[in-house]
A and B are shown apart, each in its own frame.
Chain A
Amino acid sequence: MAVKMIRDVIRDTIDEEMARDDSLIMLGEDIVGGNGSAGGPEAIGGIWGTSGGLWAKYGGDRVIDTPISESAIIGAAAGAALTGKRAIAEIMFADFIGVCMDQIWNQVAKFRYMFGGKSRCPIVIRMPYGAGYNAAPQHSQAIHQFVTAMPGLKVVMPSTPADTKGLLTQAIRDDDPVIFLEHKFLYAVKGEVPDGDYTIPFGHARQVTQGDDITILATGMMVGMAETAAKTLAQDGVGCDLLDLRTTSPLDEEAILDSVERTGRLLIVDEAPPRCSLATDLSSLVAHKAFASLKAPIEMVTPPHSPVPFARELESAYLPSPDRIAAAAARLLSYRRG
């Protein structure tokens, strides 16, 4: 097993899949970079370093640098995918989904349904998301709650290098549209990555820590925070069953319910604001299907109902943290029916 950073895992996985499948193309802003400039092509290789070298290897007909035109990027990927290609579209910041929402929501997500099951649109929309870089309200958001709510899309949120490889390979080979959410703050995270062909089926949560006292559900960057909190709690003898959901659509309901039925306590950590969110959705699921198991009210650790702020102090206050997670765990454990 090689040890790699997540950004390199993404690049290498795309490389392997492009080598394996001639029909795979990739589009996005500055994924090559430098076109039309004195520096020449490959001056950038993607602002996140996730596509360096691919243009030189596969050429401009397959690694397509686009103007800043998010609707046209998604539409072009979709049109190519409808007509026999596989396509990876990169939206430079997930926040830009607002520009191309129609193409994602009304077009890509609905083609197969509207067309009576007679079309196929194998497209992966990669979107770097999330806070942690003081990038302010329009470059820091989590957007999984919107796309998870859209029938017709699959939504993937890897948190480790190994999962990034397995889930991205699966996403590229999937025949349905997939939103692949890469947390910007995790790009430099290193870890072991399986060699060779490696896929992880969607809808299967990863058990991060095992315990019988509290179930913790998390995705993306929240997984690491929850793991840190779980280690602290373990020192106090509290066992956390931490599940990394990996995909929010499809959702591993079985793993969630099995765990809650065992622990009787649920703590959800989510990077999106709390209203109409993944956290409320999971809370509703458990309240409905595992009500009798619950020993305490469900706890949610989320940002407040506000945009992501800029200043360091404000962004830190906005985001969940291991301390806030541990505090919520303490509330769960100390709860007594009145």
Chain B
Amino acid sequence: MQLSRDALTRAYRQMKTIRLFEDRLHDEIALGEIAGFTHLYAGQEACAVGVCEHLGPDDYIISTHRGHGHCIAKGCDVEAMMKEIYGSSDGLCKGKGGSMHIADVGVGMLGANGIVGAGAPIAVGAGITAKSNGTVSICFSGDGACNQGTTFEAMNMAVVLKLPVIFVFENNHYSEHTGEAYAVGAESMTTRAAAFGMKAVKANGIDFFDVYQTIGELIEWCKAGNGPASIELDCERFFGHFEGDPQRYRGEGELERIRAERDCLTTFRTKVTEAKLLEGADLDQIDEEVTALIDRAVAQAKTAPRPTPADVTQDVYISY
């Protein structure tokens, strides 16, 4: 798939936005500015953006506790997301959900989710709608969620009902603090997905172009009525499971090595500049613009309106 200059620029901007959003949160959380649990997506940007650059507002995604990247990639408003993470009543979810529950159904983003593996059944339901309107439903999961029974139920039901659902397993090699080599009993999550009777492929989650190409083919295949598919993306998580995680499960020098050798943004920059698709200066310009965007988002979030006690009981029901 040949990407236009505009498409490449947009993809880079999306990935960079996710990276700087997460890097900045890492800093702000260390300052004690942000309440609750936060799970950062940095390192996995090529996965979210490689998938979502194929999608329109009528396609659906569902995400995980590590959901900021998917939200940004699917088109959630970055400033409203930052306000949500800061707990503002102007946040995308009015301060009711926070980092783990950011959603914007209006752009087809059916929610980050605090329960590992809970998204897969919901993605099957979005697949029922997708089947009736010619779109696709994407379930982002990790190597942790791939072991949940809900994921098994969902994969089987998607096959039985022949739904346009793609199970995207971002394999960052750690389910929380436990290695994939221990927790995934099958030869791989891909062979296991194939055993459910669906098309199951792998791609290099560090390489935007490989993700984009491979998922693009799967989306076409699913939209053609062939039923669900799965894709395993080999990728890296640059931070801990949660912010504050001392990451004692990592090998010596592991973080430094993956940051130096397996950074999807560096990989993208090298590829597009060597192929003379974009100039380094173009990318630098985007870096500056995204930095300004994140600065603005944080500044706004810090001074945004706070919810009041009366808000606690709002939006429990539509009518009661």
Pair A79/B318 contact, Cβ less than 8 Å:
no
Chain B residue numbers with a CB within 8 Å of A80 are 125-126, 128-129
Pair B129/A107 contact, Cβ less than 8 Å:
no
Whether A165 sits at the interface, judged by CB under 8 Å, is no
Q: Which chain A residue shows the least CB distance to B111?
A: A115
Pair A111/B153 contact, Cβ less than 8 Å:
no
Pair B103/A114 contact, Cβ less than 8 Å:
yes
Pair A79/B156 contact, Cβ less than 8 Å:
no
One of B101, B128, B149, B315 near A76 (C-beta < 8 A): B128
Q: Which chain A residue shows the least CB distance to B97?
A: A114
One of A79, A87, A119, A176 near B127 (C-beta < 8 A): A79
Whether A154 sits at the interface, judged by CB under 8 Å, is yes
Chain A residue numbers with a CB within 8 Å of B189 are none
The contact string, 1 if C-beta is below 8 Å from chain B, for chain A 50-88, is: 000000000001001011010111111111111111010
Complex Cα spacing A120 to B122, Å: 14
Whether B114 sits at the interface, judged by CB under 8 Å, is yes
Whether A152 sits at the interface, judged by CB under 8 Å, is yes
Pair A79/B96 contact, Cβ less than 8 Å:
no
Pair A64/B126 contact, Cβ less than 8 Å:
no
Chain B residue numbers with a CB within 8 Å of A64 are 128, 161
Complex Cα spacing A177 to B114, Å: 20
Complex Cα spacing A71 to B153, Å: 7
Chain B residue numbers with a CB within 8 Å of A103 are 118, 121-122, 150
One of B122, B129, B318 near A175 (C-beta < 8 A): B318
Chain A residue numbers with a CB within 8 Å of B317 are 112, 152, 154, 176
Whether B131 sits at the interface, judged by CB under 8 Å, is yes
Choose, from B26-34, B87-95, B218-226, B230-238, the stretch at the interface: B87-95
Complex Cα spacing A54 to B123, Å: 25
Count residues on chain B whose CB falls below 8 Å from chain A CBs.
50
Chain A residue numbers with a CB within 8 Å of B161 are 64, 66
Pair B94/A117 contact, Cβ less than 8 Å:
yes
Of residues 105 through 124 on chain B, the ones whose CB sits less than 8 Å from some CB of chain A are 105-106, 110-111, 113-115, 118, 120-124
Chain A residue numbers with a CB within 8 Å of B316 are 112-113, 151-152
Chain A residue numbers with a CB within 8 Å of B160 are 66-67
Pair B320/A154 contact, Cβ less than 8 Å:
yes
Q: How far is the CB of B233 from chain A (nearest CB, A)?
A: 22
Q: How far is the CB of A103 from chain B (nearest CB, A)?
A: 6
Pair A87/B314 contact, Cβ less than 8 Å:
no
Whether A337 sits at the interface, judged by CB under 8 Å, is no
Q: How far is the CB of B109 from chain A (nearest CB, A)?
A: 10
Complex Cα spacing A67 to B103, Å: 29
Pair B125/A87 contact, Cβ less than 8 Å:
yes
Q: Which chain A residue shows the least CB distance to B119?
A: A75
Of residues 51 through 103 on chain B, the ones whose CB sits less than 8 Å from some CB of chain A are 60, 62, 84, 91-97, 101, 103
Whether A21 sits at the interface, judged by CB under 8 Å, is no
The contact string, 1 if C-beta is below 8 Å from chain A, for chain B 126-167, is: 111111100001000000000001100110110011000000
Chain B residue numbers with a CB within 8 Å of A117 are 94, 96, 314-315
Complex Cα spacing A313 to B87, Å: 57
Pair B126/A106 contact, Cβ less than 8 Å:
no
Pair A79/B92 contact, Cβ less than 8 Å:
no
Q: Which chain B residue shows the least CB distance to A70?
A: B153
Pair A250/B118 contact, Cβ less than 8 Å:
no
Complex Cα spacing A82 to B108, Å: 10
Chain A residue numbers with a CB within 8 Å of B84 are 116
Pair A114/B121 contact, Cβ less than 8 Å:
no
Q: Which chain A residue shows the least CB distance to B130?
A: A83
Q: Which chain A residue shows the least CB distance to B108?
A: A83
One of A78, A106, A113, A120 near B125 (C-beta < 8 A): A78
Whether A336 sits at the interface, judged by CB under 8 Å, is no
Complex Cα spacing A79 to B131, Å: 13
Whether A281 sits at the interface, judged by CB under 8 Å, is no
Whether B104 sits at the interface, judged by CB under 8 Å, is yes
Complex Cα spacing A139 to B125, Å: 27
Complex Cα spacing A84 to B123, Å: 14
Whether A25 sits at the interface, judged by CB under 8 Å, is yes
Complex Cα spacing A130 to B261, Å: 61
Pair B156/A61 contact, Cβ less than 8 Å:
no
Whether B319 sits at the interface, judged by CB under 8 Å, is yes
Of residues 35 through 56 on chain A, the ones whose CB sits less than 8 Å from some CB of chain B are none
Given A67-B156, A75-B125, A116-B315, is A106 in contact with B114 using a C-beta cutoff of 8 Å?
yes
Complex Cα spacing A85 to B149, Å: 25
Chain A residue numbers with a CB within 8 Å of B101 are 114-115
Whether A118 sits at the interface, judged by CB under 8 Å, is yes
Pair B122/A119 contact, Cβ less than 8 Å:
no
Given A72-B157, A114-B93, A115-B93, is A79 in contact with B106 using a C-beta cutoff of 8 Å?
no
Pair B125/A81 contact, Cβ less than 8 Å:
yes
Pair A75/B96 contact, Cβ less than 8 Å:
no
The 9 closest A-B pairs by CB, nearest first: A75-B121, A79-B125, A117-B315, A116-B93, A116-B94, A72-B153, A69-B153, A79-B122, A83-B129
Query: Can you show 21 pairs from A to B with CB atoms below 8 A apart?
Result: A69-B153, A71-B149, A71-B154, A72-B121, A72-B154, A75-B123, A76-B121, A76-B125, A78-B121, A78-B122, A78-B125, A79-B128, A80-B125, A82-B110, A83-B125, A107-B113, A107-B122, A115-B101, A115-B104, A120-B318, A154-B320
Interface residues of A (CB under 8 A from B): 25, 61, 64, 66-67, 69, 71-85, 87, 102-103, 106-107, 111-120, 151-152, 154, 174-176, 203, 250
Besides A79-B124, A115-B97, A152-B317, 9 more A-B contacts (Cβ < 8 Å) are: A64-B161, A71-B153, A76-B154, A78-B121, A78-B125, A85-B128, A107-B113, A112-B318, A115-B105
